[in-house]
Amino acid sequence: MTEPVLPKALAFDVFGTVVDWRTSVTRESAACLAAIGRSDIDAAAFADAWRGQYIAAMIGMRKSGRAFVPLDLLHREMLETALRERNVDPTGLDDEMLADWNRAWHRLDPWPDSVEGLTRLKTRFPIVTLSNGNVALLLAMARRGGLPWDAILGAEVSGFYKPDRQAYLRTAELLGIAPNELCLVAAHHGDLAAARACGLLTAYVDRPDEYGGAPAPDAHHEQIWEWSASSLTELAGQMGC
The site for its own copies (CB under 8 A) is made up of 70, 72, 126, 128, 134-140, 142-143, 149-153, 156-157, 174-177
In this structure, the number of other CB atoms found within 10 A of the CB of residue 214 comes to: 11
Smaller CB separation from its own copies, 30 or 135: 135
Smaller CB separation from its own copies, 161 or 204: 161
Q: To the nearest whole angstrom, how small is the minimum distance from the Cβ of residue 143 to its own copies?
A: 6
The CA-based dihedral angle spanning residues 30, 230, 106, 171, taken in that order and rounded to the nearest 10 degrees:
-150
Q: To the nearest whole angstrom, how small is the minimum distance from the Cβ of residue 162 to its own copies?
A: 18
- Give DSSP secondary structure letters for 78-118: HHHHHHHHTT--GGGS-HHHHHHHHGGGGSPPBPTTHHHHH
**What is each CA distance from 172 to 28, 160, 195, 216, in whole angstroms?**
35, 13, 11, 27
Q: To the nearest whole angstrom, how small is the minimum distance from the Cβ of residue 215 to its own copies?
A: 35
Smaller CB separation from its own copies, 155 or 216: 155
Rg (CA), the chain: 18
Smaller CB separation from its own copies, 61 or 174: 174
Q: To the nearest whole angstrom, how small is the minimum distance from the Cβ of residue 18 to its own copies?
A: 16
DSSP for residue 68: P
